[in-house]
Structure 1
Amino acid sequence: MPAAGQLAIAATASYCFAHFVVGHPVPLLAITVCLSSLGFVRDARPRRVLETAIGLSVGVALAEVMLAVAGRGVWQILVALFATLLLARLLNAAPAVAVAATAQSAIVLLIQLPSGGGWARSLDGFIGGGIALLATALLPRDPRRAAQRDADRVFAGLRRGFDDTARALRTADRPTAAAALGALRELHPVVDDWTTTLDSAIAIARVSPFLRRRLPELLAQRRLLAGVELAVRSMRTIARRAEALTSDGRARPELAELLAAVGSAAALLGRSVHDPAVLAPAREDLLLIARRLDPRLVSPEASVTASMITVLVRPVVVDLAVAAGLPQEDIRAALPSLA
């Protein structure tokens, strides 16, 4: 709904400016360029909006040049569309922008010349792009909530990976270990979504006077994302090792307890997205876990393969602790020596 409201208001404002201020009777391209520049997309960064608006406006202007030089006809349409595709693709790496720019060019080539003159449609395109950029700052979507939703999805998947891996080690259940590995692999696109949403939210907060106060909170969430992304990668390795360990049918409750403890600390980090006050207990929990991360303490009689689980948990704890705001030197100093 916020995105739909932003699009509707911005497109209407583009029409009103082009119609009532500039005097164009039917400023169609002011609306279409504005809508296409903003887009119903996750990435609403001002830079993306600007690049899209420029690409669309260039497509309109190129079609105007073709009409002025060669007139209207079938071969002119072919040349203009081909040139617009190449030029828009050169200006913007996104294929969708090139196609959208070419669609605007086709509109110019096909509709009748407006009463505002030969370059009225180009002016409408630039008006639509400019209003889209203003709307990004003055009518921003709520990027904080979108980033929080993506964060919740990532932490839910990470917690499932911890819980399933711990259950698999506790019961020597290989299918459960395989399910944990699958859940962690499925987190890759979810982490990418969170990254895109958060980068977009930070970029908007930098230019919007209404969201600038949210910038410290969003930057803290970026630090959280960086640590969690590394932890997810390490957990995939642990889940693969756990799946191999369960093949002998032997339960390993001590390793299960360790992973369950780290999973609980990760869940606290997930709650910090909505309540930063829980970061302090999360840091304390991770410090306590770090001090125990010696294979000789966790599982004294375990094989070398089983002991590797404890060793692999160490970078996970470090990454989560850094994400929680603990200096890396402090958490590394808390780890027992493996010598």
Structure 2
Amino acid sequence: MSGDGDTAAITQAVPTGWRARVQVRPRLARVRVSAIAILQITVAAAGAWAFAHYVTGHAAPLLAATVTISSLGLVRDARPRRVLETVVGMLVGILVAEGFVLVVGPGWWQLALALGVTLVVARFLSPYPPFAIMAGVQACIVMSLPATQPFARLADGIVGGIAALVVTALIPRNPRREEARDGHAVFAAADSSARAIVQGLRRGDALRAGRGLDKARAIAPRIDEWRASLDSGLAVAGFSPWLRPQRAELQRHHAVLQAMDFATRNLRVVARRAVYLCEDGQRRPVPADILAELMRASELVGESLDDISLQVPAREALRAVAVRLDPARLLPDGSLGEQNLITALRPLAVDLLTATGMPPAEARALLPRV
């Protein structure tokens, strides 16, 4: 059995037949992740329809429900500003189409003209492509439905938009769960990359170190996902009275994200230098051990996303490594390339220390002068 930490077991169950095509667990996971969004959409759409029907007296307030459903959606980014942009886009489409129905009436060429004008107006108003698409869809719906009283459907759309914003505030999607999952994914990806680099250095294996470089390059999209979910969470927490207490914790996570963005970039630098060094097939245990120590401390930083008390032990573990990062002392007989690798670990240590809440200047001051 292989001793590689990132190698899957050779013998494992392989699903066949209908089990290979129908996997229930990921389907249930999708439903669980979308549970709050489904509740939001259901409550808002039903409430908007009921208000438009029973309060404003519209017999079939279709747009009250469709505007609500389309503006909320099941997307990850549920920040109030994005919901409002979508609502405004749909209202623009309804308004333009209502004007065409009033002036020229329904019909295929009237629909084409109304759709074209709607898309032009929407693209002029917003650079956000879905804004124009939502406006165009609503314009087509208005042009296709039989007219009742002038601009009644615009009123339905406004009701639906208000309902979407109200449930965004009163039944908010939990921003912590999603952004924490994205944050842990970043730390897990960095750890996997560093493990491969460490193995490459210990074995003098350029292929293994190259695999670590590939993994380091693949972290960037995970950083972007974490940033998107954090920005969305901060916006929702600022808008919803129930989630406002979470804002401070989300801001702390945002500081960790910024530090990890720099740390993963420096990890790519370390990986590139490791690949170059491993080309000669020589084992280099000293930089391998230093990188392994840094990443063990990084695991504590990742765990501190859920437990802030772990920031202190993570900081102390990183401090213990940072104060030793003197290339000449660690590798007095090492080559220039080996000493350069130790030098590349210095900014990585500073970034990880910053992720524990230490000011950057204080983190840099811990490094020995070279």
TM range (shorter): over 0.9
Q: Of 320, 329, 336, which aligns to 2:352?
A: 320
Deviation at 1:207, TM superposition (A): 1.4
Q: Tell me if 1:94 matches 2:124.
A: no
Match of 1:223, as an amino acid?
Answer: A
Q: TM-score, structure 2 length as denominator?
A: 0.89
Deviation at 1:298, TM superposition (A): 2.1
Which stretch shifts more, 283-292 or 223-232?
Answer: 283-292
Deviation at 1:219, TM superposition (A): 0.5
Q: Of 181, 193, 196, which aligns to 1:161?
A: 193
Q: Which residue of 1 aligns with 2:330?
A: 298
1:260-310 CA distance string (max 9 Å, x none):
011011111110111111000111111111101110122222211121111
More helix as a share of residues: 1
Q: Which residue of 1 aligns with 2:170?
A: 138
Q: Is the 8 A contact 1:137 1:209 kept in 2?
A: yes
Unaligned runs of 5+ in 2: 1-34
Deviation at 1:15, TM superposition (A): 0.9
Match of 1:261, as an amino acid?
Answer: E
Which stretch shifts more, 120-129 or 295-304?
Answer: 295-304
Distance (Å, rounded) in 2 between the aligned partners of 1:308 and 1:265: 22
Which runs of structure 2 are paired with 1:103-252 in the superposition (5 Å)? 103-114=137-148, 117-252=149-284
Deviation at 1:187, TM superposition (A): 1.3
Which stretch shifts more, 163-172 or 300-309?
Answer: 300-309
Q: Of 298, 315, 318, which aligns to 1:286?
A: 318
Q: Tell me if 1:80 matches 2:114.
A: yes
Q: Which residue of 2 aligns with 1:29?
A: 63
Q: Of 40, 52, 73, which aligns to 2:74?
A: 40
Q: Tell me if 1:63 matches 2:100.
A: no
Distance (Å, rounded) in 1 between the aligned partners of 2:71 and 2:359: 41
Higher RCO (CA-CA < 8 Å; seq separation 6+): 1
Q: Of 36, 40, 49, which aligns to 1:6?
A: 40
Which stretch shifts more, 82-91 or 50-59?
Answer: 82-91
Q: Which residue of 1 aligns with 2:295?
A: 263
- 1:113 match: secondary structure: coil
Runs of at least 4 residues off by over 2 Å: 89-94
Distance (Å, rounded) in 2 between the aligned partners of 1:8 and 1:306: 60
How much is the aligned-residue C-alpha RMSD, in angstroms? Answer: 1.1
1:48-90 CA distance string (max 9 Å, x none):
1111111111111110011111212222111111111122223
Q: Tell me if 1:308 matches 2:359.
A: no
Deviation at 1:326, TM superposition (A): 0.6
Deviation at 1:97, TM superposition (A): 2.5
Deviation at 1:141, TM superposition (A): 0.5
Q: Which residue of 1 aligns with 2:309?
A: 277
- 1:42 match: secondary structure: coil
Q: Is the 8 A contact 2:324 2:367 kept in 1?
A: yes
Distance (Å, rounded) in 2 between the aligned partners of 1:110 and 1:260: 64
1:8-61 CA distance string (max 9 Å, x none):
111111111111111111111111111111121111111111111111111111
Which stretch shifts more, 69-78 or 119-128?
Answer: 69-78
Q: Is the 8 A contact 2:182 2:226 kept in 1?
A: yes
Which stretch shifts more, 83-92 or 205-214?
Answer: 83-92
Distance (Å, rounded) in 1 between the aligned partners of 2:192 and 2:330: 22
Q: Is the 8 A contact 1:255 1:299 kept in 2?
A: no
1:141-193 CA distance string (max 9 Å, x none):
01100011101111100111111111110111112111111111111111111
Distance (Å, rounded) in 2 between the aligned partners of 1:262 and 1:301: 23
Distance (Å, rounded) in 2 between the aligned partners of 1:7 and 1:184: 38
Match of 1:35, as an amino acid?
Answer: I
Distance (Å, rounded) in 2 between the aligned partners of 1:9 and 1:92: 29
Q: Is the 8 A contact 2:194 2:212 kept in 1?
A: yes
Q: TM-score, structure 1 length as denominator?
A: 0.97
- 1:248 match: secondary structure: coil
Distance (Å, rounded) in 1 between the aligned partners of 2:77 and 2:127: 14
